[in-house]
Structure 1
Amino acid sequence: MASILRASSVWVCLFLLLAAVNGQDDFDIGEERKTHLNFFFHDIVSGPNATAVAIVQSSVMNSTAGRFGLVVMVDNALTEGPNISSKLIGRAQGFYATASQGDLALLMTMNFYFIDGVYNGSTLAILGRNSAASQTREISVVGGTGYFRLAQGYAIAKTGSWNATSGDAVVEYDVYVVHKGPASASTSNPGGAPGSGQTSAGSRSTVYFPVLLLLQAAYFLCFLGH
């Protein structure tokens, strides 16, 4: 009988210890949201104020249909309207590269960094294939920060205008994401707004107090109970 009780107490100890360890990982990541964004991406490759600059050009770039091996670093304006003078809401920062020898297909690797309203300071991470010659393209959204924490979704890109002489282009983006966002967003710092997933000292103590109780119970049962 005593051996059965000892075996049972060991299992109880293990359960309490596992519960305590799992309890330490509890944190708030905010509520699930769905967001649709519409804005315009200005790819300026010409002139003294270019925001898209070639940093790598392969030896075969000019001999392939897709200009294979060109890498362009960007800090492109994102605006509310198609005109470059319309309200600036953010920047597209990262790079695109020509990744196909047969057609003009870009590898897009960049962040959409927002500077306006509840999205101020937040980002969406874009990664995927952009068939630039197609009128409409779909690109993956693979992550986000701040208001768009844990974002997943897709972006639909449509070429609004392209200047064959300068190479400058305006692309309209419709972005659809599911993400964890703050319950009430701050315009100055949405990532740190109440409910955004940053745990305050009070909420940390709320989490850790039952963990300490479980650890104490496990200690008394396992080490002082024999």
Structure 2
Amino acid sequence: MQGHTIKPSSKQLSSMVVVAAAIMLVLLAGVAHGGRRRLVSSSEDEPCKKMTVYYHDILYTGNNTANATSAAVTKPAAALSTSHWANGTFFGLLVVFDDLVTEEQALSSEPVARAQGFYFYDKKEEYNAWLAFSLVFNSTAYTGTLNLMGADLMYEKTRDISVVGGTGDFFMSRGIATLSLNAAEGTVYFRLKMDIKLYECYV
């Protein structure tokens, strides 16, 4: 009896091509992500990474050039918001910042990152702001960035903003940063406590 070769059907060939392509995509994804493994938390109480840092903002007043880390780049419209710092809501005011971020509360403590971005006041009746910034890390603990954005509901004791991405040690991270006012000196200086919880990480 003479042997014969069984040839796969066109349908089987198509399935084999699809499987091979899927395997290649998985392998390429691993290479593209530097061989990292994606972790997604299954519980709000169990983030894949968390940290607490302190954000220090020193507003430029005209005579503190050496120490200032933020500056107002627009003026509120007089008809919409009073210009007096004690009473106004500063509706329309935009502030750009390059602020120090530390692991300890003290402004003089070791920096872990810079917060670089902007916030603006967006409510006529009361203090309320919206902000977007990057935490730029360059320390022995971390390198890379975390990108954050959201509404800063200033009358709330704590408020959450979104972590929408990252680079380096925080590649493609997603999560929440909970902000709370930790200290203030008039309108010139404030310190925010930031509890950051990441629920999607690459390790």
Alpha carbons 2:116, 2:136 under 8 Å: kept: yes
What is residue 212 of structure 1 aligned with on the other side?
Answer: none
What is residue 187 of structure 1 aligned with on the other side?
Answer: none
What is residue 172 of structure 1 aligned with on the other side?
Answer: 193
> What displacement does 1:58 show?
4.2
Aligned residues: 175
Alpha carbons 1:36, 1:175 under 8 Å: kept: yes
Query: For 1:138 and 1:63, how far apart are their aligned partners in 2?
Result: 28
Query: For 2:135 and 2:16, how far apart are their aligned partners in 1?
Result: 45
Gapped runs of 5+ residues in structure 2?
1-5, 40-46
Amino acid at match of 1:153: G
Query: For 1:181 and 1:21, how far apart are their aligned partners in 2?
Result: 23
Amino acid at match of 1:36: K
Percent same amino acid among aligned pairs? 25
Deviations 1:121-149 (A, max 9, x none): x2111111111233322211121222222
Q: Give TM-score, length-normalised by structure 2.
A: 0.76
Whether 1:41 aligns to 2:55 is yes
Query: For 1:24 and 1:58, how far apart are their aligned partners in 2?
Result: 55
Task: Name the structure, 1 or 2, with higher relative contact order (CA <8 Å, separation 6+).
Answer: 1
Query: For 1:173 and 1:146, how far apart are their aligned partners in 2?
Result: 20
Alpha carbons 1:127, 1:142 under 8 Å: kept: yes
What is residue 110 of structure 2 aligned with on the other side?
Answer: 87
Deviations 1:181-222 (A, max 9, x none): 33xxxxxxxxxxxxxxxxxxxxxxxxxxxxxxxxxxxxxxxx
> What displacement does 1:42 show?
0.5
Matches within 5 A, 1:52-201: 52-60=70-78, 62-63=81-82, 66-120=89-143, 122-164=144-186, 166-182=187-203
RMSD value, Cα: 2.4
Alpha carbons 1:149, 1:179 under 8 Å: kept: no
**Residue range with higher mean Cα deviation, 98-107 or 54-63:** 54-63
Gapped runs of 5+ residues in structure 1?
183-226
> What displacement does 1:160 show?
1.4
Amino acid at match of 1:45: L
Deviations 1:30-66 (A, max 9, x none): 2327111111100110310311112233425634953
Amino acid at match of 1:71: L
Alpha carbons 1:118, 1:147 under 8 Å: kept: no
* DSSP 3-state at the match of 2:97: strand
Q: Which structure: greater helix fraction?
A: 1
Amino acid at match of 1:181: Y
* DSSP 3-state at the match of 2:156: coil
What is residue 13 of structure 1 aligned with on the other side?
Answer: 13
> What displacement does 1:17 show?
2.8
Amino acid at match of 1:62: S
Alpha carbons 1:147, 1:180 under 8 Å: kept: no
Bigger Cα Rg = 1
**Residue range with higher mean Cα deviation, 100-109 or 77-86:** 100-109
